[in-house]
Structure 1
Amino acid sequence: MADVTAPEILEAYQNVRAKSDTNWLLLDYEGDRSDKLILTGTGTGGLEELQDTLDESRASFAYVRIKYSSDKESTREKFVLITWIGSGVKVMRKAKVSVHTGYVKQVLRIFSIEVSANSKEDLDEATIVARLKKAGGANYDGA
């Protein structure tokens, strides 16, 4: 069981949802043997800034608000849940992440798509926006 009860996690989630300047949050495990998740970062620089904080030796969960133009007339903001498993993560931690994702989703509940990433290339913004457009229904820009 993952511990996602730290009040600062819910507060950061609400800040991202409230469309404040904060548009992402990052959760990491408290330690190598711990199943407790802690808030290790928030930011205002979007997916690009978030990518810079990801560590190849860690498994993390991130929540990000992405703003994009769905057509010439409007912009949309959608939320993405990211499960990050860096290349240096140990096998037992990798195995636990899939189980812990369910507990994380009980707190970071509202998102349009979920992205599993093992490398920063998996977090290409154009690819994620294309997935958001497909998940978002009507799309008049031909993409």
Structure 2
Amino acid sequence: MAANVVDKKSIDNAKAKIFAGSKTRGFIILGYAPGSMTNIVLQTQMEDGTVENLVSKLDDSQVQYALIRIPDKKDLTDTVRDVMVAWAGPKVKAVEKSKKKTHTGYMKEVLAPFHADLEAISKANFTEAVLKDRSNPLSGSHVID
């Protein structure tokens, strides 16, 4: 059961708007069209959106994929970090979660390029500090729980 991105042009336009240039914050969220197990659509985008804004848009009853840009520092230089997050809400049934988890690799291709990819299973610890920590290549865990 392969995933299918509906209206890829709108997704590409949203990515270009938020992730091009010198912007230091923003995100897009993709999810499944209502009633579909395979059709993926752009659900929301927010220029200058924070991690807190992103978390407030995640639906506990959905599997969603987000690409977020956050400010970062590297060798005392201000820069950005783009992170792909696969979200599976706690109200998603196990069978649905398993079927849709197979789409994560495809979604990584759709949302590329990014610096790190994470899995999120809880909103409780989903903060900018945790996102920065878990998206670090040397982090032991790439799961926000």
Query: Equivalent residue for 2:64?
Result: 60
Structure 1 residue 25: Cα displacement: 0.1
Partner of 2:142: none
Identity, in percent, stands at: 29
Q: What is the match of residue 29 of structure 2?
A: 26
1:48 to 47, 52, 58: 52
1:21, distance to aligned residue in structure 2 (A): 7.6
Q: Is the 8 A contact 2:24 2:70 kept in 1?
A: no
CA deviations on 1:19-59 (whole Å, 9 max, x unpaired) are: 45871000110023331111110112221111111111111
Using the alignment, how far apart are the partners of 1:42 and 1:22 within structure 2?
Answer: 11
Match of 1:3 in 2: 4
Correspondence for 2:115 among 112, 117, 127: 112
- Single out whichever of 88-97 and 46-55 deviates more from structure 2: 88-97
Aligned length, in residue pairs: 134
Say whether the 8 Å CA contact 2:37–2:100 is kept in structure 1.
no
Looking at secondary structure, tell me which structure has more helix per residue.
1
Larger Rg, first or second structure (1 or 2): 1
Q: Shift of residue 5 of structure 1?
A: 4.3
CA distance in 2, matches of 1:100, 1:10: 18
Amino acid at match of 1:58: Q
- Are the aligned partners of 2:83 and 2:118 in contact in 1 as well (CA < 8 Å)? yes
User: C-alpha root-mean-square deviation of aligned residues, in Å?
Assistant: 2.0
Q: Which structure 2 segments of 5+ residues have no match?
A: 139-145
Structure 1: gaps spanning 5 or more residues: 137-143
Question: CA 1:110 to 1:70, structure 2 compared with 1: closer, same or farther past 3 Å?
Answer: same
Give the direction of change, closer, same or farther, for the CA distance of 1:93–1:32 in structure 2 (3 Å limit): farther
Structure 2-normalised TM-score? 0.81
2:141 equivalent in structure 1: none
Which AA in structure 2 matches 1:68? D
SS at match of 1:135: coil
Alignment counterpart, residue 123 of structure 1, candidates 116, 122, 126: 126
Contact 2:32 2:64 survives alignment (8 Å)? yes
Matches of 1:130 and 1:28 in 2, distance apart? 25
Larger RCO: 1 or 2 (CA < 8 Å, sep 6+): 1
Poorly superposed stretches of 4+, deviation over 3 Å? 19-22
